[in-house]
Structure 1
């Protein structure tokens, strides 16, 4: 092949993008080789800064490829802060719907061009790859949602470092949906209001015993202990447990609240007055719901109450999250609809008394987390590195968009354990808590 014919056979980055995305392209694309694609008046401009960035997009079109290019610095989007890139998600939705499958001949040309650029030998996100622990789990024969593998999953996400989470979670150190008393309420007030809501729904009072599973940094445990409730709280994150124990001691609550580094399935105590599960069910696995609710019903006295607070889908057909979330954020995580949660509670130990959807509250919570991360961006990068900080910004902004657009929801479901005669043991008929 002559030098002239070889030059004629090469493709520009803009031409590769045109082969991958159906017209009209929702983005303007500008590439390191000077080529462009998409309309000049598009709302957002994507800049592909390196052959590696192009390779991520071309070899894995969709959320994973786009995220890899973004996080590794192979791509940037004009006008979006790395901590809160919320604005691009409307356009990303359009983009993901317009990726096309090139013909065999087109694919050969694209891969030949990537190979010529030396971009096919890269390794995906070694700094923030969240699935390496799965390789160990598989080698050891650990099944999904075994105790050992669940411990690895939780550690992969939550043991990034307490100081990093302190930058955006606020004073309450709460990594679950807040409950805003008004649209303009602050994050800390909204988180305290969420604990108030859970406390009142569970009819807790001084002297009662609460089991709080998936307790995070111990916010619910400390809220209840301040009101005279005896709490056993468990988490599979060693760093969370250490932080929570220190907070309990600092608040002088050591006689009432115990924070354990422990799987909830290993809690030996029983006869609790209430169980709170705030943000744990997402990690349990839909096939394990029956065992989960049966186990927790067995931990309650007759008439005891359980509050389950978890992310759900708007319907009951889907269970697995997107590839990006599953690979880099919450490995092994599973969601389903609130109807499935209610049915499994009803079938396995509980009469369901009440359920409600707080998805707009989670939208606001994520917005406030992103803004806190934005305000502390330089420190976040110092603590965890630019790739991980960008990863968290993208996932939280995308989740904010998802709750606003009903891609996901947040449901609280309240249930009571009946006695052998079907009695609620004094639990009232009507709603007894303040909304």
Structure 2
């Protein structure tokens, strides 16, 4: 077979109903497609067998993670050209793959049986290849978003090695979008984000802060060191907690900061003056979100503030048809869910919060993700040694596609400031609260 690329191009155009926008390089060394375009490298026929046995997004994702598919050249341009075909809204949180699913449906259409036979011929004989080992197995241990199941989901994503996260995130160890100004580098932008959160929460010496989903401890450390607070950080990741405790001890702040491996539903020692939830609520789930907001409301003192920093998806025309992204669920955030920002605001209000400010910062996340991808690619051999080739490929695909999703307004991210306003109605906010952006 010396013309696999030409046959693949024709097959893709038949199934997708549109010219294929990338050049294809096949396992037999052949190439076909627009000159100068990024190259979709199909390195092994197994990639086609994966799609044949598991049509749609998950089959394609397995081929990518296994190293049987890749984009050569400009990764972002290649993925952008595929947008609307394979990754309609980007293979990031809440993304979808209508084109791939449409191609899968076409394989079952009697009118395209010839294309189906061609795919079988190109794929070659064989049983379905086993999924790459990085794929999350079906989570056990309780209903969706029960404490035990949440621990397993968090462990799949976060307990892959602190050194790997340090390579990707940089010294700040902040795993949420930075807050950029002209000329800033990643470290400065992350420091500015942490400081913005502290100012929105009006932290003062002696304030009691709870960080729900504290990660590796950057926010509680910054708040204790720069604002003199007493802080508690909770996480379900034992590896994160170990790193945070060591870091805090090295900074001499162990007497003011406590790190717990604890579920948000198990925090016993409110009230707090302020609560931060930065990039954690995506793990809560829509069915549990009202209860989650109620727990945080109950942990705040009257007049206390909540800063909820959360990725948002765009509303679906029919909300009942929303499906968790198959690639994200299998390889990145098992059981993760995104909600439109309006739904999040409504759930917070139902729990008793007064929502006082919503700041949309999606462009900031696109910039942050591009920096993380650049760090990963720059130190790729070491990243592969730290985790595995498949895990590193998961991260490269996830972060690059997510950057495009933010840039193209397919998903967003918002900081929502809410107050547990006392019965008298005094929120404690200044008349012009956006002054915090000027500090």
Return the TM-score normalized by structure 2: 0.88
Q: Separation in 1 of the partners of 2:70 and 2:404?
A: 19
Instruction: Name the CA distance, whole Å, in 2 between partners of 1:133 and 1:301.
Output: 39
Match of 2:347 in 1: 344
Supply the RMSD in Å over aligned alpha carbons.
2.2
SS state of the match for residue 24, structure 1?
coil
CA 433–14 in structure 1, closer or farther in 2 if over 3 Å, else same: closer
CA contact (8 A) 1:114 1:120 kept: no
Q: 1:10-409 counterparts in 2 under 5 A?
A: 13=8, 16-33=11-28, 39-41=33-35, 43-80=37-74, 85-96=75-86, 99=100, 100=103, 101-102=106-107, 103-104=109-110, 105-106=113-114, 109-110=117-118, 112-113=120-121, 117-126=124-133, 128-130=134-136, 132-134=137-139, 137=140, 140=141, 142-180=142-180, 182-226=181-225, 227-315=227-315, 320-409=323-412
Larger-Rg structure: 1
Cα distance, 1:133 vs structure 2: 4.6
The farther-off stretch of 61-70 and 334-343 is 61-70
With over 3 angstroms needed to count, the CA separation of the structure-2 counterparts of 1:266 and 1:34, relative to structure 1, is: same
Deviations 1:290-340 (A, max 9, x none): 111111111111100000000002337655442211221111111111111
Cα 1:183/1:65, change in 2 over 3 Å: farther
User: CA, structure 1 residues 119+35, in 2 after alignment: closer, same or farther (shift >3 Å)?
Assistant: farther
Post-superposition offset of 1:199: 0.4
Report the CA distance between 1:343 and its aligned residue: 1.3
Decide whether aligned partners of structure 1 residues 88 and 34 sit closer, same or farther in structure 2, where only a CA change above 3 A counts: closer
What's 1:420 paired with?
423
Deviation at 1:42, TM superposition (A): 6.2
**In 2 relative to 1, CA 316–218 (structure 1 residues): closer, same or farther, beyond 3 Å?**
farther
Q: Once the two structures are superposed, what CA deviation does each residue of 1:200-258 show, in whole Å capped at 9, x if it has no partner?
A: 00111000100110000011100111121000110001100000000010000011100
C-alpha displacement of 1:98: 5.0
- Counterpart Cα distance in 1 of 2:334 and 2:81: 26
Shift of 1:146: 0.2
1:129/1:328 contact within 8 Å kept: yes
Of the structure 1 ranges 106-115 and 217-226, higher mean CA displacement relative to structure 2 is found in 106-115
Q: Where in structure 1 are there 5+ consecutive unaligned residues? A: 1-10
Superposed displacement of residue 350, structure 1: 0.7
Measured in 2, the distance between the counterparts of 1:271 and 1:74 equals: 52
**In terms of mean alpha carbon deviation, does 40-49 or 403-412 score higher?**
40-49
CA distance in structure 1 between the aligned counterparts of 2:329 and 2:392, rounded to whole angstroms: 18
**Post-superposition offset of 1:41:** 2.9
The 3 A distance-change label for structure 1 pair 380 and 34 is: closer
Distance of 1:316 and 1:50 partners within structure 2:
36
Q: TM-score, normalised by structure 1?
A: 0.88
**Shift in Å, 1:111:** 6.6
Q: After alignment, is 310-319 or 353-362 more displaced?
A: 310-319
Aligned residues: 410
Structure 2 residues not aligned, in runs of 5+: 1-5, 87-97
Tell me, in whole angstroms, the C-alpha distance in 2 between the residues paired with 1:363 and 1:14: 31
